[in-house]
Every structure is written in structure tokens, then in C-alpha cells.
Amino acid sequence: MGKTVAEKIFDTHRVGAPLDDVHIIRLDAVFCHEITTPIAINDLIARGKDRVFDASKIKVVIDHVSPAKDSKTALQGKILRSWARRHNIQDFFDIGRNGVCHALFPEKGFARPGYTIIMGDSHTCTHGAFGAFAAGVGTTDLEVGILKGVCAFHYPRSIKIQITGQLPEGVYAKDIILSVIGRIGVDGATHKVIEFSGPVVDAMSMESRMTLCNMAVEAGATCGICYPDMTTVRYLWKHIQHEYSSPDQALASFSVYLPDKDAVYDAIVEHDVSGLEPQATFGFKPDQVKPAKELLGTPVDQVYIGSCTNGRLEDLRIAAGILKGRKISESVRGVVSPATSSIFRQAIEEGIIQTFMDAGFCVTNPTCGACLGMSNGVMAEGEVCASTTNRNFNGRMGKGAMVHLVSPATAAYTAIAGYITPSFHKP
């Protein structure tokens, strides 16, 4: 019987015999940030086990609230910082060199085809864009990962979602994933891995694939996975060139993690995106999705462009392309947060930051900040935000505030109009 991507990865990483359906797998990387890691560190210290399994496989960033906004967040940073120093963890990214974890770590080449990765963060599924098995876990799993380099998972079952058809102009990976979640529901893939495949995914940049995989967890999935191909190799090349004689050789070695033709899936879903329109969420659940034009005219107080979903250079370019030479509505606060320092730098060089500022946007440093209602753009009760992030939960960006999830393009059009619109619109 053939195997899926996740099954192949599990079979090369298994430690010991499975316990019923539970498999213990060896980890290639453990990612850490300052919100979920300090409690794990404190617990390890309390247990007299302040050790790490392999400092070279632990990657650490301070990203959620950066710079610290108060003494408590400063303490979280301090605990993480001194732990990383104590254990000589080289890949530690502090303010000035940091970025939102799921944008930063791929940039550094830390996610690779066939890897097993955990992090105390639900959007760890993003790294599946590289053909890795990457799963968000809680603090206890993280703690054991740090200490022992292993994690327990149920043997993965997979769903294959084939994205087919002709993606219309002005419609993006964000619209595709919103439409997928709208279709299968917030628990449509619970306990499962989603393999995203098909010609539309094959044609996507790594950035777009990350947007796609980023929101797999919004359908309950353990991980979203794209198949490694030349796009993957080219993105990673500067980090892997010393390991392979040529890109072709790298691709050949990654191909062992492609699924077998006769792999068994719980479901194979064909998702035709021909005729797909820009999407937006309308409730407090990410599967409450409709074409953005059906929300046309919904006034917004803030437009937020950023996060691990849509804060990458490709996203900023799309939004800036729309904003160029225009001003955002006076009734809107525009906030843009480039996802990493290098994206920020590149956006300055390309004139993108200038465009945002000319349009009336506030540009913040890289941080999660407003995405989880922590800093840099928290909403007031009763306010409405059109946001390129991934969660519209009640209270997510501020108690009593409403979030509409949209693509960077729809966010830009909305900022100009002052109300939700997927295109230039004059009332």
C-alpha cells in the first residue's frame, strides 16, 4: 500500500514501537517563542531538568510582543533570552533581527522537506509548505521536545485537496484557503494532515504556499503540506547549496518525501478556483466566509496588513501596488507590519514602505502584535478591522471588536474606501 507524505516522514522518524496508534517521532527542529516557551523553561527548572536535547536544533525568536509592552512581556523575553544564552543556542533572534516566527524561520532555511518540526504555536503548520511535517503543540509537548527531541502523535491520516482551474486575476492564496475552510468547516480536517496539490499550487510561490498551509489549522488540520519541487529548492538554495552538488540533486533527494501514487487518503477533494472571487469572513469563526463583495459597504475602523499569514514581501507588494498614488480613507487607521526585518529592509529598498506612508499607513516594526490583540493596533469594543491575519475569533484583536479576514489586496481596497470592498469602489 502506498504512503502519503506524512506517513513517509513518520516512517523515517519513528522512535521505538508505536503505542496503539500513537507514534513517537524524532524531531529535526524545535521552534520557540516568548509566549509559550517561558512556562516550559520554568517547569524544566522546577523539575531539575534544565537541559536541551540539541542546541543546534532549537530555534528561538522573540516575536509576539516586540518590543516588550510592559513588565510582564519584558519578563517573558528575559526568561527566553537568558535560557538561550545559558544553553548556547546560536539561532536566537532578538529585536532588530527578529520577525514573526513562521515568516522568519523559513527565511533562515530552518524548514526543509521531510523535516519534523514542532512549536508551541498553532500556526506551525505553515512550514508544511516546504514538504515538512510541522505541527503546533502545547507547552508540555514543547517541554518534552526541548528536553528529549521527541513528540507523540497519532499516526497521521491525510486529506488531499487538489486546487484546480484557472485562478482569476486579483484572487490570491488567501482567498483560496478561506474558500477551502468555508467549504470543509473549522473541524473539517481535525486530526488530519492536508496535502495541498494540483496545478494551482504547483504554480504558486513559496510565500503563497505558506499562506495556504498557514490556515490549515483553521480547518482543524495538524499540518498542511505542499510537495517539494524546484520552487522549494530555489527558495532554500542559499541555505542548502553546500549540501548538494546541484538543485536537481537536491530535488531528487527531496523526492523521497513525495506521496506514492497509490497512497491512501481519507478524502480527495477537488477545489476548482476558476471564477473564485475575493473572500472575506463575516462572523467569529474562520469558516464563516463569503465573497467580499457581499460585505461591500461594511465600514471598518482599522485595516491591518501583516502576520504570518500575509505579512511577507509578496503581500506587501500586492497591497502597495493598489495603494500607490492613493490615500486611505480618513475614517480608517491603516497599520502595516512587515513580517520580518529582512522583509522590512527589502520593502524600504523597493519603495513599498514609502508608498504605504504616503497613503497614510502607520508602519510598525515586525511583530505579531495586533494579530492576537497584544500590541501595535489593539481594537476597541465595537470597532471593526479588516485584517490579513488568520483568526476572527471573538476578542482576538481586542475585546468586543470584529475582525474580517481578507487578502492583502482586499485590505488595500478597503483602506482606500473606508468600507469592505474587493476592488476600487466609488459609493
If the CB atoms of residues 151 and 353 are measured against another protein, the closer one turns out to be 151
Q: How far is the CB of 424 from another protein (least distance, A)?
A: 34
Q: What character string, x for contact with another protein (CB under 8 A) and - otherwise, covers 299-318? A: --------------------
| Cβ neighbours of 350 (radius 10 Å) | 14
If the CB atoms of residues 222 and 421 are measured against another protein, the closer one turns out to be 222
Residues 28 and 67: their CA atoms lie apart, in Å, by 29
Q: How far is the CB of 223 from ligand SF4 (least distance, A)?
A: 15
Which position has the grid cell 484583536? Answer: 397
Q: Does 262 bind another protein (CB under 8 A)?
A: no
Residues 7 and 13: their CA atoms lie apart, in Å, by 10
Whether the bond between 106 and the residue before it is cis, its omega within 30 degrees of 0, is no
Residues 85 and 100: their CA atoms lie apart, in Å, by 21
C-alpha grid cell, residue 393: 475569533
User: Within its chain, how far is the Cα of 40 from the centroid?
Assistant: 23
Q: Does 50 bind another protein (CB under 8 A)?
A: no
Residue 116's binding partner out of ligand SF4, another protein, none, with CB under 5 to 8 Å set by partner kind: none
Q: How far is the CB of 305 from another protein (least distance, A)?
A: 20
Q: Does 137 bind another protein (CB under 8 A)?
A: yes
**DSSP per-residue string spanning 26-63:** E-SEEEEETTTHHHHHHHHHHTT----S-GGGEEEE--
Q: What character string, x for contact with ligand SF4 (CB under 6 A) and - otherwise, covers 47-66? A: -----------------x--
Strands 267-272 and 333-337: unpaired
Q: Does 364 bind ligand SF4 (CB under 6 A)?
A: no
If the CB atoms of residues 95 and 372 are measured against ligand SF4, the closer one turns out to be 372
Q: Using the rule CB under 6 A, which residue among 100, 300, 305, 322 binds ligand SF4?
A: 100
Residue 308's binding partner out of another protein, ligand SF4, none, with CB under 5 to 8 Å set by partner kind: ligand SF4
Classify the phi-psi angles of 150: left when phi > 0, otherwise alpha if psi is within -120 to 50, otherwise beta.
beta
Q: Of 22-30, 133-141, 178-186, 367-375, which part binds ligand SF4 (CB under 6 A)? A: 367-375
Report phi then psi at 155, rounded to 5: -60, 125
**DSSP per-residue string spanning 210-257:** HHHHHGGGGGT-SEEEE---HHHHHHHHHHHTTT-SSHHHHHHHHGGG
Give the residue among 412, 164, 128, 394 at the shortest CA–CA distance from 284.
394
Among residue numbers 105 through 124, which ones bind ligand SF4 (CB under 6 A)?
121, 123
Residue 102's binding partner out of ligand SF4, another protein, none, with CB under 5 to 8 Å set by partner kind: ligand SF4
Binding region for another protein (CB under 8 A): 15-16, 19-22, 24, 35-36, 38-39, 42-43, 47, 49, 64-65, 70, 72-73, 75-76, 79, 120-122, 124, 136-141, 143-144, 147-148, 150, 152, 186-187, 190-191, 220, 222, 284-285, 372-374, 391, 393-396, 399
Binding region for ligand SF4 (CB under 6 A): 64, 100-102, 121, 123, 307-308, 368, 371-372, 389-390
